[in-house]
Amino acid sequence: MTLDPRSPRTPSSPDNAGPHPWRRYVAIGDSFTEGIGDPLPDGGHRGWADRVATVLGSQVDDFAYANLAVRGKLIAQIVADQIEPALALKPDLITFSAGGNDVIRPGTDPDAVSLQFEDAVRRLRRDGATVVVFTAVDTEFTPVFRGIRGKVAIYNENIRAIADAHDCVVADQWGLKEVQDMRFFDDDRLHYNSLGHHEVARMVLRALNVPNDLEPMKAETEAVTTWRAAREKDLVWARSYLVPWVLRRLRHQSSGDHVQAKRPEPLPVVTLAPGQDAAASSETQV
């Protein structure tokens, strides 16, 4: 088990020469943290936060993990619905990712979203928990979101400034070049697939300076396709994902309506043995 040499040293990241110091981890946010795009055979979702919790839980005996994230939520909804329930669980480690659904919407102001983000961080830090915040991924590689790259960059700079002011750990998706490849994304072109979630988990553990045995996962070689086949694929994507997304916006609906947090209480994490399929997990496993 080795410490990744790329680990960024941040003020609130302990130098973990031995077991990490955290015993109660709570994840809050939207679909990114819920794990959408990384399905389990039982219909649930795994995701990077579950993967991080599995590693952390394997290193200490008295570790517990809760995940309050719900897909489709805007930052105001996350602040209203998840901050106080998260604090009530008395965590010493919190991951907080919010604002992505706001930033991708036309006409939104990344500076205004960041003001809400900073208020949330201030509250999350009040009891001394380590708080991990996320920059958004660099969208240059994807035609769908390339046009908002500048907007995302402004939001990211705000996140970095907030993290510096409130002594947070930054998990830097913008700098995670490995995932800037559509092979690391689900068919909806918005959420990571299992490969992407795995790489984000590795990045979060680097940010926390936690030694681990997670190895990089390589995507399959992308088949060469014709222009016509690519456009047909684009049309299928538009019908299957873009149009429903637009209709939800027009109807003021969310994919997270009527969805409950998948792991509302801190539970022990049972580490899966190498090669064991996640489908064999019990309700206390991730």
Q: How many angstroms separate the Cα of 56 from the Cα of each of 39, 50, 190? A: 21, 10, 27
Mean pLDDT of 66-70: 97
What domains can be seen in the chain, in order of their start residue?
Answer: 24-216+262-271 (3.40.50.1110)
Mean pLDDT of 250-255: 62
Q: With cut-offs at 50, 70 and 90, classify the pLDDT of residue 275.
A: very low
Phi, psi torsion values for 144, nearest 5 degrees: -65, -40
Q: How far apart are the C-alpha atoms of 19 and 251, rounded to whole Å?
A: 49
Averaged pLDDT for residues 101-119: 95
**Over 60: is that where the pLDDT of 14 sits?**
no
Residue 218 is predicted with a pLDDT of 77
Percent pLDDT > 90 in the chain is: 63
Half-sphere exposure of 201 (CA within 13 A, CB side): 27
pLDDT in tens, 123-164: 999 999 999 999 999 999 888 889 999 999 999 999 999 999
**pLDDT at 17 exceeding the cut of 50:** yes
3-state secondary structure at position 242: helix
Confidence at residue 19, expressed as pLDDT on a 0 to 100 scale: 82
What pLDDT, on the 0 to 100 scale, is given for residue 232? 62
CB atoms within 10 A of CB 139: 20
Is 273's pLDDT higher than 60? no
Mean pLDDT, the chain, whole residue set = 84
pLDDT in tens, 24-67: 999 999 999 999 999 999 889 999 999 999 999 999 999 999 99
CB atoms within 10 A of CB 262: 20
Look at residue 202 and tell me whether its pLDDT is greater than 90: yes
pLDDT digits (tens, 9 = 90+) for 255-270: 656 678 999 999 998 7
The pTM of the whole model exceeds 0.95: no
Decide the pairing of beta strands 93-96 and 24-28.
parallel
Name the pLDDT band for 238 (thresholds 50, 70, 90): low
Q: Yes or no: say if 131 and 96 are a contact pair by the CB < 8 Å rule.
A: yes
Average pLDDT (204-221) is 88
Of 263, 264, 265, 248, whose CA–CA distance to 74 is shortest?
A: 248
pLDDT mean over 190-218: 93
pLDDT grade for 231, boundaries at 50, 70 and 90: low
pLDDT at 86 over 90: yes
